[in-house]
Amino acid sequence: MDFKGKQLENLDERINRDICLGWAGIIAILIIGYLIEVLKGQRTLAYLLVFTILNCATLLICLNRYIKAPASRSLRYMLVGGFFIMYIFCMATANTHLVFVYIFPLLSVLVLYHDPPQILRVGGAALAINLIFICKWFLVDGIELSETRDIEIQIGVMVLCVAGCWMATVIYNDIQKRNGEYISKLDEKTRQIQRMTFQTIETIANTIDAKDEYTKGHSRRVSDYSAEIAREMGMSSEEVERIRYIALLHDIGKIGVPDAVLNKPGHLTETEYELMKKHTTIGGEILKDVGMMPELDVGAKYHHERYDGKGYPGGLKGEEIPLVARIICMADSYDAMTSNRIYRKHLSHHVVIDEIRRCRGTQFDPAVTDAFLRFLERIDSSGLVTEEPEEIEGANRLLNRVMEDQSKQLAETSQKDFLTKVYNRSAGERYITLAMREVPGYLFYLNIDDMRRINREQGIRMGDFYLLQIVDLLQCMHPDIIVARFGGDEFLAFVPGETDTGKIGEQIGQLLEGIRFIAADTGTGKLTASIGISVHENLKQDFTDALAEADKALYYMKQSGKDSYYFYQQIAGLEEDLSRQELSNLVAAIRKKDNFSDTMVLGQQDFFRMYEFISDVVSDRQKEVELVMFTLSFGEGAVYSVELRDKALELVDRAIQEVVKDPDAVSTYSSTQRIVIFVDEDENHIKEIAEEIEKRFYKMYGQHDMKEVMVLEYRVASVKEEA
C-alpha cells in the first residue's frame, strides 16, 4: 500500500485546484477593474472583450484539463502559459506605470512550484520585457528623466519581488527537503508497523488453527483463496491485500468456543451447534474496534451468511452481505471440502466443483462463484500452491516457526492426561476417530472395578499406582494402540488391525489377567476391571456409534458381573431382559439393605441419596414404596447415536417433571434409565402416571413412527419390609 504516493497525489491535486481558483479570481478582478475604466471612458469596450475572451478561453482549457486529471503535473505548465499570455497582453496594452502589478500572479504561481531556477528565468524575462518597454518610453514617447520616479519604483519593486520569491523558494525547498526525508522515514515506519501488524494477524490465525491440528493452515489457505477470488474479480492490488488479511482472521471468534465442542468428533448436538455458531459474533466483537483497516470485523462476523438468506448470524441476503464476507464464505467452504476433517476425509476435486456449482445462487454469490471457478480452471486439480506475500516474509517466518513450536508443545501438553501421560478424553476421541477412518480394528472401554473402595481403603496414591500399571499393560498390547483416559477409573483404547473376536478375546483376557496380577504382586488386595468391546470392520462407521456400542457392552458387563469383558454384538436384543433383571436386583438389594457400589450403579450419586431415603421409609416407617423404572432404548434398525440418546433423555426428564412435579421423587439410575418413587400410592394411579409420562415423551419428540427410532418403557416394582 503506497501511502506516500497517495499523499503526493492529494498534494498535486490541491495545488492545481488552488492555482485554478487563484487565476480565476485574478481574471475576475481585472475584468471588473477594466469594466470600471470602460464606464469612465478610459478604455474601450473592445479592449475589455478581447481581454475577457482571451483569458477566459485559456482558463476554460485548463479547467477542463483539471476535471479530467486533477493531479496532473502537466496542468501546471498550462497554467503558467495562461498566466504568461495574460501578462504579455497587459504589458503590451496597459498603463506602463502600473505594469509591475502583473508580475505578482506569475511569480505567485512559480512560488507554488518551489523551483528557484525557474523563478530566476521567468523573473529575468519579465524584467527584460519591462526594460524594453522602458527604453521605448524614453526613445519614442519622450519621457524626461524628471518623470522617471514611477519607473524607478516599478523596476525596484519587480527586482525585490523576483529576489524575494527566489529566496522564499530556496528556504521553502530546504524545509520541503527535510519534510520529505521525515515523511520517508515516517512512511518506512508505517510500513514496518503495517508488516508487524500483518505478522501479528497471521500469528493469531496460526494460534487459532493450532486449537485443532486437523484445521492447521486453514486460515492461511482461506486467506490465499480469498485473495485469488478478489484478483479474479478485477480488484486493485490494494483491495486484494486488504481482503487477504481480513480473511486471515475470519475464524478468530473460535477462541471463545470450548475445545470440547470445537474438536468434537461426529455431529454436534443442537446446543453445541448453537455454541459453535457464536464464533461469528464473538469474532466481530473482538475486531470491531480495530481501526487498522476497514471491514476487518466484517469477515469474521458474516462469513457464514448465505446468499439466499439462510445463513447466520443475521440471516442477511444477497448484496446485504458485505462483498468481502461473500468472498470469504466461498474460500472457507472450498477449504472445508478439500481438507481432511476429524469426522471425514476430503472430497475429490470433481465432487467439490459440482457442489460449488450446485450452491451457486443459494449458498454462494453467483459473481464470486464464477470468479472462483475461472480461477480453479487454471490450476491443477490436485490443489492450490500460493506464494508467501512479500510483506510477511523474513522475520515473520521466524516468528511463525517459534509460534508453531510453542503451539506443538502446548498442544502436546494439553492433549495428555497429567498423571498417566496418555491422551485425555478430547484428544483421544480425535486420534481414535482418525485411526478408525484408516484401518479396521476394535474399540474397547475399560472400567476399573471398585475404584472408590480402593482409594478409600488403600489410599489415592495406591490408586494412582494401579492406574499407571494398567496404562503400561494397555500400551504393551499393540505398538499402534491409541489409549485415552476417559474418566477417573475409565480408559478407552483402539487396537488397529484385529477384528477376529477369538483373537480379541485372547488379547483382552491377557490384559485382565495382567490387571489381576498387579494387586496380587504387591499384596495390597484385589484389582479387577470390566471391559466392553465394539468390533470396527466398516471404515464408514461413525466413532460416536462405536463408542456407544462399547459403552453399552461395558454397561451390560457391569450389570451382569465384573472382572470380565463383553462384545456389543452379544447383547443385541437383550435390553428388555436386562431392564427387568436390573429392577429385580435393585428391589432385592433394598430389601436386604445391601450397600451399593459402582457394581450396581455407575456414579449416580443422587440415587445413593434416594436409596437411603427408600430404606428409611421401608424399614423405619413401615411404608410401602413403589419404584417405576423408565428405560430408554433404540428401536429396531435405528442407528445408535449418543447425541440422539441425550436429546431423548432430556425429553424424558421434561416429561417426568411435568407429570410428577416433585424433583425429590426422581433419580438418575444409569445413562439411559430414570427411577420415580411413590410412597403408599395406588397401583392403578401409578400406571396412569407412567403412561402419561410415556405419552408426553412421544408427543414432545414429535416424530412419526417414534418407536422405530426410540423406545421408552417402564416397569413397576414394589418394595416393602419383609416379615
719 or 423, higher pLDDT: 423
613 in a structural domain? yes
Complete DSSP assignment for 343-371: TBPPPPHHHHHHHHHHTBTTTB-HHHHHH
Residue 707: the pLDDT is 53
pLDDT band, very low/low/confident/very high, at 307 (cuts 50, 70, 90): very high
CATH of the domain at 237: 1.10.3210.10
410 in a structural domain? no
Residue 306: the pLDDT is 92
Tell whether 364 and 487 lie within a shared domain. Answer: no
Least confident of 52-61, 434-443, 599-608: 599-608
407 in a structural domain? no
Tell whether 506 and 629 lie within a shared domain. Answer: no
Tell whether 670 and 608 lie within a shared domain. Answer: yes
Angle at Cα 339 formed by Cα 335 and Cα 343, nearest 5°?
Answer: 120
Distance CA 274, CA 257 (A): 10
Number of neighbouring beta carbons within 10 Å of residue 524:
16
Of 516, 540, 572, which residue constitutes the final position of a domain? 572
Helix (H) or strand (E) holding 130: helix 116-136
Domain total for the chain? 4
Mean pLDDT taken over the chain: 76
Tell whether 22 and 167 lie within a shared domain. Answer: yes
pLDDT band, very low/low/confident/very high, at 468 (cuts 50, 70, 90): very high
Tell whether 149 and 13 lie within a shared domain. Answer: yes
Tell whether 472 and 339 lie within a shared domain. Answer: no
Distance CA 653, CA 701 (A): 12
365 or 455, higher pLDDT: 365
Greatest mean pLDDT among 479-493, 536-550, 652-666 lies in 479-493
Distance CA 77, CA 83 (A): 10
Tell whether 282 and 327 lie within a shared domain. Answer: yes
Tally of residues, the chain? 723
Greatest mean pLDDT among 265-269, 280-284, 394-398 lies in 280-284
Tell whether 218 and 366 lie within a shared domain. Answer: yes
Residue 303: the pLDDT is 92
pLDDT tens digits, residue range 62-116?
888 888 888 777 777 777 777 777 767 776 675 544 444 455 555 555 555 666 7
66 or 634, higher pLDDT: 66
pLDDT tens digits, residue range 549-568?
888 888 778 767 788 898 88
258 or 392, higher pLDDT: 258
Distance CA 29, CA 33 (A): 6
CATH of the domain at 630: 3.30.70.270
187 in a structural domain? no
> What's the average model confidence in pLDDT over 505-510?
91
Helix (H) or strand (E) holding 106: helix 103-113
Distance CA 363, CA 305 (A): 8
Distance CA 542, CA 273 (A): 18
Tell whether 581 and 542 lie within a shared domain. Answer: no
Of 514, 544, 572, which residue constitutes the final position of a domain? 572
625 in a structural domain? yes
Residue 399: pLDDT over 60: no
192 in a structural domain? no
Residue 467: the pLDDT is 92
Tell whether 115 and 81 lie within a shared domain. Answer: yes
pLDDT tens digits, residue range 167-193?
767 776 777 777 777 877 887 777 777
Bond preceding residue 313 cis, omega within 30 of 0: yes
Whether 651 contacts 701, CB under 8 Å = yes
> What's the average model confidence in pLDDT over 442-454?
89
Give how far the C-alpha of residue 711 lies from the chain's centroid of Cα atoms, to the nearest Å.
Answer: 40
623 in a structural domain? yes
pLDDT tens digits, residue range 185-232?
887 777 777 677 667 766 776 666 666 555 667 888 898 999 999 999
> What's the average model confidence in pLDDT over 389-418?
54
| Matching residue, cell 490494494 | 238
Whether 333 contacts 319, CB under 8 Å = no
CA-to-CA separations, 125 to 87, 102, 119, 120, 121, in angstroms, rounded: 12, 13, 10, 8, 6
Tell whether 143 and 82 lie within a shared domain. Answer: yes
669 in a structural domain? yes
Of 542, 572, 602, which residue constitutes the final position of a domain? 572
Tell whether 257 and 310 lie within a shared domain. Answer: yes
Owning domain of residue 99: 3-180
| Long-range residue pairs from 513-518, CB within 8 A, at least 24 positions apart, any chain | 514/473, 515/448, 515/470, 515/473, 516/563, 518/466, 518/469, 518/470, 518/473
